[in-house]
Amino acid sequence: MPGTKAEERRMDSRKILLLVGALLVAGMTAVFARTLTAGSAAPQAGAAVIVTPPPEPGPEILVATRALPVGTIIDSASLKFQPWPKELVGGAYFLKDQTDMSKLLGTVVRFAITAGQPLTQGAVVKSGDRGFLAAALTPGMRAVTVPVSAQTGVAGFVFPGDHIDVVLTQDVAGGGDGPPLKVSETILRNVRVLATDQRTDGQSGNDGKTPIQTFTTVTVEATPKIAEQLAVAQTVGTLSLSLRALADRPEDLQNPGGGAPAPVADRASYVTGGDISRYQRRTVPGRQREGSASAAPGAATTGPAATGPAATGPVTTEGFGVRVARGSGGGPKADAAPASPTNSGAGDQ
């Protein structure tokens, strides 16, 4: 039995040693884990303390407030100053502290600029520079100058970039007796103004307002065909300008390809003197047939065939009937319905 007790004591000692060893290992493990946890938390606290300073605001530069197609005339609503990152500011940009905005008004966009894009030095052409007017023209268009006066030029209220209609006023004699037919008609619509006299901008005065100045010529943008029509219209009668509404400006009526809609010719709208006053004509004066007696008092002197400014051929009077002769020779004649002498009012004289 003494041997058995000795073995039990040795086993108890081993158990105690194993227990002490396990405790030591557990303690060391706990200390090591705590050290790892404290070491990983320290960098996180340092990162939280270090805050990246916000970038410094860059200088303000000119940017487009809307899409500016080629040929757009710059006005005060086309551009604005906007902060820009300092590292992205180029030497060709217009800086706020170095730019006189008044000198850019009236310049013409040489290259297309999208909304929000910075304006560069080479993107605009200034008045007086070579090729300025050519840059203002839409591709395929022509520049035509027409004479106007204070009355026919809307008293100076037309500025470059506006859109107008062109009205032609003339007297049509017709080769007959009596006063000529007075007629006014709109021959062109939606024509863009490029310049008034030699001004291509609407610069403000000392009070900040755009001064109203009368001018003697207006340069407009036209198609090659309309340019020919304007050249002839200047020899036919007097040209007047009719200012279109602001809603008809290029920014509200954009073509799919950019730019403003092209001007169009109009032959449908006209007014005669008889439409304004009962003492004016509505038709072209008729011509009496050679060798015939004078028309009887109260006889019709103008025929129903001559119903407007487009009437052709002279009108002859024979008794109480009206006969229309076409051409200068004795060609065929078409008899019209008899005209009552009581229907010849002052409006057709």
Instruction: Tell me the pLDDT tens digit for each residue of 169-216.
Output: 999 887 777 788 999 999 999 999 988 887 766 555 555 566 677 788
Q: What pLDDT does residue 79 have?
A: 92
Rounded to two decimals, the pTM is 0.55
Per the model's pLDDT, the better-predicted residue between 267 and 38 turns out to be 267
What do you get for the CA distance between the two ends of the chain, in Å? 162
Q: Which CATH number fits domain 60-125: 3.60.40.10, 3.30.70.1140, 3.90.1720.10, 3.90.1210.10?
A: 3.90.1210.10
Taking 90 as the threshold, does the pLDDT of residue 136 lie above it?
no
Q: How far apart are CA 248 and CA 242, in angstroms?
A: 13
Distances (CA, A) of 202 to 77, 158, 176, 210, 273: 12, 10, 48, 6, 37
Q: Where are the domains of the chain?
A: 1-51, 60-125, 140-275, 283-349
Residue with tokens 């200012």: 243
Distances (CA, A) of 48 to 42, 43, 52, 56, 281: 10, 9, 10, 22, 93
- Digit-coded pLDDT (tens) for 20-39: 888 888 888 888 778 777 65
